[in-house]
Amino acid sequence: MIISVIFALLALVAGTALFTLLDKEEPMAVLLSASIVLGGGLQAFLMNYLGNVFMDGADSLLQIAKFQERSERSRTEALELARLAAEQQQEEDFKEAARPTPEPEGEPTSEPEDEPKKEASGNGESGETESKPD
């Protein structure tokens, strides 16, 4: 994060400026300038770390939302394709059911029932003449 770098540089500049302005012989001036530099650097580090934690968390939430949106979109598209395929199949089935099936021309499949059937029976009524010896 740029803010933490700027904050660290400001702490460094403030510490060195204070060190140059104060008496270098006094230990409190050195301690004050060193504490400003270290405190500012530590704050910049913490700001950077916490900022990255929050930004990474927000970034990961954003990525999760994007993946969820993609999966919902692909799920919706898959459901739409399945619905279209089912509708096309229903239309084809309806067209096949509405279309009459043509019967094959040529030999009829059943004999007409108007003609009597000749059956051979064993009692002599078959229509054949039997010859009797005289």
Q: If you count DSSP H runs as helices and E runs as strands, how many of each does the chain have, helices first? A: 2, 0
Per DSSP, 104 falls in state P
Query: Would you state the structure tokens that stand for residue 106, as one six-digit string?
Result: 């040529």
Q: Is the pLDDT of residue 108 over 70?
A: no
Say if residue 48 is exposed, middle or buried (CB neighbours under 10 Å; 0-12, 13-18, 19+): middle
Query: Would you state the structure tokens that stand for residue 54, as one six-digit string?
Result: 């929050």
Query: Would you state the structure tokens that stand for residue 89, as one six-digit string?
Result: 């199949």
What per-residue confidence (pLDDT) applies to 97?
A: 79
First-residue to last-residue Cα distance in the chain: 136
**114 compared with 26, residue with greater pLDDT:** 26
pLDDT in tens, 31-89: 888 888 888 888 888 888 887 777 777 778 788 888 888 888 888 888 898 999 999 99
